[in-house]
Structure 1
């Protein structure tokens, strides 16, 4: 319990100790734990939502970011081990979806603790590789990427001082995800639910469908109108899917 309380990685905005299940939420590149505050608010107290705060942003701004997904997943898995007293699911958006997959691989392989489900949102399958070099751009080039994906508050993009504070975290995250590689036969046993936008410039429908090959368990996919951050406009529908699948996992457990 002490390790839980001292972890700088985990935020609980609406602690639900009596909940039978936990949902670990992993942000996108450049994102922070607070991105999942609305999800925590919506699902509590039925679900205990743990929002992950990556190093290099907000209250962890003084810590160096992590530029390797494997190292990222190793460290995050270590932080989640103290929480394995209850069933756990993982929800990740964009880079967070890949981290959810890699953390699940480690939980299954090293701890014999398979999560009940992985929700992979806004990201092509682990083995669907594109050559991308956003992390090599200058600051203006990274800002252009953020504007294209519309995932950053417009107030931040217009505030030079705030923008300069968050750019290092964005660059390290992009370095990690753009250099990530997975094999087509890398699989987990945990069921996967894919959530995708039908106009996402970073994930084609075929690349989203390819998640099916990365689990030996159940798989389903839900498509929504919208681009990379489609979930912002479909929160109610997404919460319904997550809530229903977690409730089913509890009943089956």
Structure 2
């Protein structure tokens, strides 16, 4: 039985390592592909990218040889926005569509962010803003060496999200979509989440999880269980169709 490749794109400030815990939790029918972004992790020596079009081109170049059915995509927060644009890029380049897409912890791409841009705030204010998400240990910023590495990554990532421009075209997604959210996530409202329904021609289902913005770290097992349920069902259906042929 063919495994479903699951490409996972990290959130702002994150590296491919944020999905390392998933390795022991994903069903054997799923092959986890942790996507590394330039300027962090195993690609630390590469220059950071601070805009969506360039990061999408970069990721597509990195994974295009692996884009073979069946595969799925997962992105959390900033990663969800990148995932959406990556799906459009894949379609535009004539590659096969994913069998499923998971958008997590992010408003629909057409929703305009409220408030001022934060990526160019003075360092103290920028750090305070980051800590409001409850996803980064304050000790990281108290360590000058770590902070000097981490803050530029966060600024580039926040600029990527805050300067993003939604292009309303008829280039809709063609596969089923799952939208994950944290019930206590103050950054994302239910109304804003519903925007994902508007960008796909297929089914869009919503799955709330306990926790705040980083519920995927707080309740990892529950999140991966739901991914397992969706993708193993797809894998079995693909196998049955193959047998019937």
Q: TM-score, normalised by structure 1?
A: 0.87
**What is the CA deviation profile of residues 156-182 of structure 1, one whole-angstrom value per residue up to 9, with x for unaligned ones?**
233221111111111111111111121
2:66 corresponds to which of 71, 83, 87: 83
Change (3 A) 1:60 1:139: farther
Aligned to 1:55: 38
Aligned to 2:127: 143
2:49 corresponds to which of 56, 63, 66: 66
Give the count of matched residue pairs.
236
Aligned to 1:207: 192
2:140 corresponds to which of 148, 153, 156: 156
Alignment gaps of 5+ in structure 1: 1-17
SS in structure 1 at match of 2:93? helix
Q: Retained in 2: the 8 A contact 1:125–1:207?
A: yes
Matches within 5 A, 1:124-143: 124-131=107-114, 132-143=116-127
Q: Retained in 2: the 8 A contact 1:24–1:49?
A: yes
Instruction: Give the whole-Å Cα distance in 2 for the aligned partners of 1:164 and 1:45.
Output: 39
Instruction: Give the whole-Å Cα distance in 1 for the aligned partners of 2:16 and 2:47.
Output: 17
1:154: Cα distance to partner? Answer: 4.3
Instruction: Give the whole-Å Cα distance in 2 for the aligned partners of 1:224 and 1:58.
Output: 28
Q: Root-mean-square deviation (CA), in Å? A: 1.8
Instruction: Give the whole-Å Cα distance in 2 for the aligned partners of 1:44 and 1:217.
Output: 25
Aligned to 1:12: none
Instruction: Give the whole-Å Cα distance in 1 for the aligned partners of 2:223 and 2:15.
Output: 20
1:236 corresponds to which of 207, 221, 226: 221
Q: TM-score, normalised by structure 2?
A: 0.90
Aligned to 1:15: none
Instruction: Give the whole-Å Cα distance in 1 for the aligned partners of 2:135 and 2:53.
Output: 25
Q: Retained in 2: the 8 A contact 1:124–1:208?
A: yes
Change (3 A) 1:127 1:205: same
